Amino acid sequence: MKFIHIADMHFDSPFIKLSDKDTLGDLRRLEQRKIFKKVIQYIKENEIKYLFISGDLYEQKYVKLSTIEFINNLFKEIPETQIFISPGNHDPIIKKSYYNKYNWNENVKIFKSKIEKIETPEANIYGFGFDDFYCTDCGIENLEIDEKEKINILVMHATIDGASIEEKQYNSISKKILKNKKFDYIALGHIHKLDYNNEENQNIVYPGSTASLGFDEIGEHGMIVGEITKQTLKLEFIKLDDEEFKEIEINISEINSKEELIEKINELKIKENEYIKIILKGNRKFEINIYEILKYIQNNRIIKIKDNTKIAYNLEELSNNQTLKGLFAEEMLEKLKKENISDEEKQIIEKAIEIGFEALE
Give the chain's domain count.
2
Q: What pLDDT tens digit does each residue of the chain (361 aa) get?
A: 999 999 999 999 998 878 877 778 888 999 999 999 999 999 999 999 999 999 999 999 999 999 999 999 999 999 999 999 999 999 999 999 999 999 999 999 999 999 999 999 999 999 999 999 999 989 999 999 999 999 999 999 999 998 788 888 999 999 999 999 999 999 999 999 999 988 888 999 999 999 999 999 988 999 999 999 999 999 999 999 999 999 999 999 999 999 999 999 999 999 999 999 999 999 988 888 898 999 999 998 999 999 999 877 778 888 888 888 889 888 888 888 888 888 888 878 877 887 787 777 6
Looking at the structure, tell me whether residues 202 and 292 fall in a common domain.
no
CA pair distance 276, 282, nearest whole angstrom: 19
What is residue 183's predicted lDDT score, i.e. its pLDDT? 97
Looking at the structure, tell me whether residues 153 and 210 fall in a common domain.
yes
What is residue 1's predicted lDDT score, i.e. its pLDDT? 96
13 Cβ contact partners less than 8 Å away, ≥ 6 residues apart: 28, 29, 32, 59, 62, 213
Strands 244-251 and 274-281 come out as: parallel
Phi and psi for 339 in degrees, rounded to 5?
-70, 150
CA pair distance 20, 258, nearest whole angstrom: 18
Decide which of 239, 268, 284 is a domain's last residue. 239
Decide which of 190, 205, 239 is a domain's last residue. 239
Whole-angstrom CA distances from 344 to 306, 331, 348 are 15, 18, 6
Looking at the structure, tell me whether residues 288 and 249 fall in a common domain.
yes
Looking at the structure, tell me whether residues 258 and 306 fall in a common domain.
yes
Looking at the structure, tell me whether residues 232 and 353 fall in a common domain.
no
Whole-angstrom CA distances from 325 to 184, 359, 361 are 73, 10, 9
What is residue 361's predicted lDDT score, i.e. its pLDDT? 66
Looking at the structure, tell me whether residues 212 and 302 fall in a common domain.
no
* Domain containing residue 219: 2-239
Strands 222-228 and 233-239 come out as: antiparallel
Residue 194 near residue 156, CB atoms below 8 Å: no
Decide which of 239, 255, 282 is a domain's last residue. 239
Looking at the structure, tell me whether residues 225 and 259 fall in a common domain.
no
Looking at the structure, tell me whether residues 157 and 107 fall in a common domain.
yes
Looking at the structure, tell me whether residues 195 and 301 fall in a common domain.
no
Looking at the structure, tell me whether residues 86 and 191 fall in a common domain.
yes
Looking at the structure, tell me whether residues 70 and 14 fall in a common domain.
yes
CATH of the domain at 34: 3.60.21.10
Looking at the structure, tell me whether residues 139 and 224 fall in a common domain.
yes
What is residue 162's predicted lDDT score, i.e. its pLDDT? 87
pTM: predicted TM-score of the whole model, two decimal places: 0.85
